[in-house]
Amino acid sequence: MSAPRPPRRNSRSAKVRATDPDPTGPMRLQRFLAAAGLGSRRHCEEYITTGRVTIDGEIVSELGTQVDPAEQSVTFDGERLRIERKQYFALNKPVGYLCTHSDPGGRRNVTELFPSGGPRLFAVGRLDETSEGLLIVTNDGELGNKLAHPRYRIDRTYQVQVAGHPPRSVLVELERGMHFSEGKFKAESVRPLKKQGKSTFLEVRLREGRNREIRRLLAKIGHKVMKLQRVGFGPVRLGKLKPGEYRELRPSEINALRELVKKTSAPRTKASPGPRRRKKSSTQRR
């Protein structure tokens, strides 16, 4: 199978603009690394404990170390880090690209679709190599980590072409859920869109997006996935972006994503107990 050609970008695709440092002060090292675009705080903690980060030339491996970016030099694998202006993109990921930071086999990463010399970007969550469609790409490690985390249950919408014509009774099984070694997988909703020859197009909505979840669910009911495309992530839609094209998220979309994780992470308030009833004495109960 030949490798896909490099995708085209149209004139409407946003260019990565120069970054503007944010005002900074003393902060925890892992928070600074995430703000500098190294990914989630969990990944940043791994970078610290494995000795890949230095402050003023000294390797730092203790979590919780404080750093003042305005006064101290922080490097990752020898590269000086700075806090960058936060940027947020919607990308139509083509087939054949990975969402990982690096691949020992030399396969292409989605961040290669953006101009070099810009901010250090990473993909929020993953689409496997043979899937395509909407990816959020950003250098905001804190928000990106929350959007990808299962606890926040962000809606992900997919259009899936499957072999055969599954009846509604079979699709209901996907909504009820099936058990795998990692636990129970289930779709929030599944609805048929159209038939094409010996295949069917489905709209599948998830709220966790586990590894190859849709493919494994459909394989279990005997309908192989022929094509899988993500078309929605929370309030963001793929729209008319062609494979390899991207655009900057609108402020309204960024705010909506922030509100989603804020709403999910807000502590639930317990209902205040009603007035306690006084127990009747034994003489009163009679």
State the catalytic residues.
128
Tokens 């599948």 found at: 204
Task: Give the strand pairing for 132-138 and 225-233.
Answer: parallel
Eight-class DSSP state of 227? E
Question: Could you tell me the strand order of the sheet in which 74-76 lies?
Answer: 58-59, 53-55, 74-76, 79-80
Backbone angles phi, psi at 23, to 5 degrees: -60, 135
Residue of 187, 240, 256, 195 whose CA lies nearest to 218:
187
Q: How far apart are CA 61 and CA 45, in angstroms?
A: 9
Q: How far apart are CA 135 and CA 137, in angstroms?
A: 6
Q: How far apart are CA 24 and CA 1, in angstroms?
A: 49
DSSP 33-82: HHHTTS--HHHHHHHHHTT-EEETTEE---TT-EE-TTTS-EEETTEE--
Residue of 223, 219, 234, 162 whose CA lies nearest to 193:
162
Work out the number of other CB atoms within 10 angstroms of the CB of residue 220.
14
Residue type, 28: R
Beta-bridge partner residues of 204? 158, 190
Beta-bridge partner residues of 28? 66
